[in-house]
C-alpha cells in the first residue's frame, strides 16, 4: 500500500532532458511537483532547500548541496549513470539515490551499430560528394574517395558487456563479425595474461583486444577504474586501421589523446556520442578533424526509451514510498 503524502515536494531540476513527455500528471499525484527546464549551479541550493525528492539527469549534487537540503530524502536519477551524484555523501545524510537501468538497451545498441556501419560504408561522406555533383566517378571502385569495407570477418572488441554490450554483440555476429569481450570486472582491466570464461563467454585482457580488434566499442560506466581507460598508450597498441566507438561516458577516453591519435593517424577514425565536457566546447579541436563523427549524447533518447525511463523513475518513487527501494542498479 502506497502512503501518499500531499505535503511531499518533488522537483525536477533539468526537465529539458526528458523530451516532450508530460510529467506533471505522472508526478503530481504524489505531492507538489515543480519542474525547471534546467538549473544553473548557482540556483541549485535555492531549488532543493525545502524539497523531499529531487529528480535529475545530469545536475551535480554533493555534500555542499545536501547540507542545505534538510528535507531531502530521495534523488531519482533519470539515467543509468550516476557519476554526477556524490553517493557516499548522500548515504551519510540519509538520502536514498536510485537510477534506472535497461531502459535504452536497444536504442544505444542501435546507434553503436549505426556508427559501426557508417565507418565501414561512410554514407554521410558520399552524400556530401553527391551534393557536389559527383556520381559516376565515385561509383567506379578505383576512384572511390572513401573506401567501403565489409563487416564480415572483422573483429569487434567490446568494453562493457552488460545489456547494451551483449545486444551489440548479437547484431555484430549476425553481420559476420568475430566478437572479443574485454573482462568486464573493473579490477580485471589492468591484468594481463589471463583469459577467463563467464556465462560461456570468453573474456580477454584489454591489451589483447586492442591489438586484435578492427573496431572497439565502449559501454562501461564512468568510475575511477574506467576514467581515461583508453589513452594514447592504449591507442598505440591498436591497428592503424582501427576504429573507436564511444557510447559510454566521455572521460572513458582521454579526449586530448584521442585528438592526437586521430590527427596523426595512429588509428583510422572514431565515432562518439559523448565527450569529456558536455555540451562539447564550440572551439573543440575535434572539429578540425575529418575522421571523427560526434553526436550530442542522443543514444538513449528514442521515444520508446524515454517512455520506459519515466515509467521506471515513477516505479522507483513508488518503491521508496512503500519502503521497498533498494537503490542503485
CATH number for the domain including 281? 3.40.50.720
118 shares a domain with 95:
no
Q: Which of 2-16, 45-59, 91-105 has the lowest mean pLDDT?
A: 2-16
- Torsion, CA 119, CA 123, CA 128, CA 134, rounded to 10: 120
If asked whether residues 21 and 33 sit together in one domain, one would say: yes
Q: Looking at the structure, do residues 287 and 193 belong to the same domain, yes or no? A: yes
- Whether residue 216 is contained in a domain is answered as yes
List own/partner pairs for 308-314 with CB under 8 A and 24 or more apart: 308/103, 308/104, 309/78, 309/79, 309/100, 309/103, 309/104, 310/18, 310/21, 310/23, 310/26, 310/78, 312/100, 312/103, 313/55, 313/76, 313/78, 313/100, 314/26, 314/27
- Which residues have C-beta within 8 Å of that of residue 40, sequence separation ≥ 6? none
List, as own/partner pairs, every contact residues 79-86 make where C-beta atoms lie below 8 angstroms and the sequence separation is at least 24, other chains included: 79/300, 79/309, 80/104, 80/221, 80/329, 81/221, 81/222, 81/249, 82/328, 83/221, 83/222, 83/223, 83/249, 84/56, 84/58, 84/59, 84/60, 85/60, 85/61, 86/61, 86/62
User: Is residue 2 assigned to a domain?
Assistant: no
Q: Which residue has the higher pLDDT, 24 or 142?
A: 24
Convert the pLDDT of each residue in 147-159 to its tens digit. 899 999 999 999 9
Q: What pLDDT does 2 receive?
A: 46
Please indicate, yes or no, if residue 218 is contained in any of the structural domains. yes
Is there a single domain that holds both residue 308 and residue 198?
no
Residues 184 and 269 in one domain: yes
Domain assignment of residue 89, given as a range: 9-101+303-321
Residue 83 located in a structural domain:
yes
Look at the chain and report how many structural domains it folds into.
Answer: 2
Per-residue pLDDT at 1: 39
Q: Confidence band (pLDDT; 50, 70, 90) for 81?
A: confident
Question: What b/e string do you get for 73-106 counting C-beta neighbours within 10 Å, with b at 16 or more?
Answer: ebbbbbbbbbbebbbebbeeeebbbbbbbebbbe
pLDDT at residue number 141: 78
| Confidence band of 18 (pLDDT split at 50, 70, 90) | confident
Least confidently predicted of 53-57, 81-85, 192-196: 192-196
So what's the pLDDT on residue 137? Answer: 81
pTM for the whole structure? 0.86
The answer to whether residues 109 and 251 belong to one domain is yes
Predicted confidence at residue 6, as pLDDT, reads 63
- The reported pLDDT for the residue numbered 4 is 53
Is the predicted pLDDT of residue 166 greater than 60, yes or no? yes
Q: Do 315 and 216 sit in the same domain of this protein?
A: no
List residues with catalytic annotation. Answer: 249, 278, 297
Could you give the percent of the chain with pLDDT greater than 90?
82
Between CA 288 and CA 261 the distance in angstroms is: 13
Same domain, 246 and 113: yes
Residues 110 and 250 in one domain: yes
Residue 329 lies in a domain: no
Q: Write the pLDDT tens digit of every residue in 107-160.
A: 999 999 999 999 999 999 999 999 999 888 877 877 778 889 999 999 999 999
| pLDDT over 60 at 188, yes or no | no
Q: Is residue 124 part of a domain?
A: yes
User: Is the same domain home to 308 and 277?
Assistant: no
**What average pLDDT does the segment 51-66 reach?**
97
CA atoms within 13 A on the CB side of 156: 32
- pLDDT at position 60 is 96
Tell me which residue has cell 530521495.
Answer: 74
* pLDDT of 204 strictly over 50: yes
The answer to whether position 1 is within a domain reads no
The Cα 253–Cα 274 span in angstroms is 10
pLDDT of residue 17: 87
Residues 229 and 168 in one domain: yes
Helix (H), strand (E) at residue 201: strand 201-204
Do 46 and 117 belong to one domain? no
**Residue 287 pLDDT class (50, 70, 90 cuts):** very high
- Bridge partners (DSSP) of residue 119 are none
| Residues forming beta bridges with residue 11, ordered by sequence position | 34, 54
Tell me the angle at which helices 105-120 and 303-321 cross, rounded to the nearest 10 degrees. 150
- 233 located within any domain: yes
Sign of CA dihedral 320, 326, 328, 329: negative
Residue 80 has pLDDT above 50, yes or no: yes
**Residue linked to cell 586484435:** 212
- DSSP 3-state assignment of 211? helix
Amino acid at each position: 500500500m502506497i502512503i501518499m503524502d500531499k505535503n511531499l515536494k518533488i522537483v525536477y531540476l533539468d526537465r529539458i532532458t526528458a523530451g516532450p513527455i508530460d510529467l506533471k500528471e505522472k508526478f503530481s499525484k504524489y505531492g507538489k511537483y515543480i519542474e525547471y527546464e534546467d538549473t544553473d549551479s548557482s540556483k541549485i541550493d535555492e531549488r532543493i532547500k525545502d524539497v523531499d525528492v529531487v529528480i535529475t539527469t545530469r545536475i551535480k549534487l554533493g555534500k555542499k548541496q545536501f547540507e542545505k537540503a534538510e528535507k531531502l530524502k530521495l534523488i531519482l536519477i533519470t539515467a543509468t549513470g550516476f557519476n554526477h551524484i556524490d553517493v557516499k555523501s548522500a548515504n551519510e545524510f540519509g538520502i536514498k539515490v536510485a537510477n534506472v537501468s535497461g531502459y535504452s538497451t536497444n536504442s544505444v545498441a542501435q546507434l553503436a551499430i549505426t556508427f559501426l556501419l557508417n565507418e565501414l560504408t561512410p554514407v554521410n561522406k558520399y552524400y556530401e560528394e553527391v551534393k557536389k555533383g559527383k556520381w559516376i566517378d565515385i561509383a567506379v571502385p578505383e576512384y572511390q574517395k572513401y573506401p567501403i569495407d565489409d563487416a564480415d570477418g572483422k573483429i569487434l572488441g567490446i568494453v562493457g558487456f552488460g545489456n547494451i554490450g551483449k545486444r551489440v554483440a548479437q547484431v555484430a555476429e549476425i553481420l559476420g563479425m568475430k566478437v572479443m569481450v574485454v573482462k568486464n570486472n573493473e579490477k580485471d582491466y589492468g591484468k594481463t595474461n589471463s583469459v577467463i570464461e563467464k556465462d560461456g563467454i570468453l573474456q580477454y585482457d584489454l591489451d589483447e583486444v586492442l591489438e586484435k580488434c578492427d573496431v572497439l566499442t565502449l559501454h562501461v560506466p564512468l568510475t575511477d577504474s574506467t576514467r581515461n581507460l583508453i589513452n594514447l598508450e592504449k591507442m598505440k597498441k591498436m591497428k592503424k586501421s582501427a576504429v573507436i566507438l564511444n557510447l559510454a561516458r566521455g572521460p572513458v577516453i582521454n579526449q586530448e589523446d584521442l585528438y592526437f591519435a586521430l590527427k596523426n593517424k595512429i588509428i583510422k577514425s572514431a565515432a562518439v556520442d559523448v565527450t569529456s565536457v558536455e555540451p562539447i566546447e564550440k572551439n573543440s579541436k575535434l572539429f578540425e578533424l575529418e575522421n571523427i563523427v560526434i553526436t550530442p549524447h542522443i543514444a538513449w533518447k528514442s521515444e520508446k526509451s524515454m517512455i520506459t525511463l519515466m515509467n521506471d523513475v515513477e516505479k522507483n518513487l513508488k518503491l521508496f514510498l512503500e519502503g521497498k527501494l533498494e537503490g542503485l542498479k
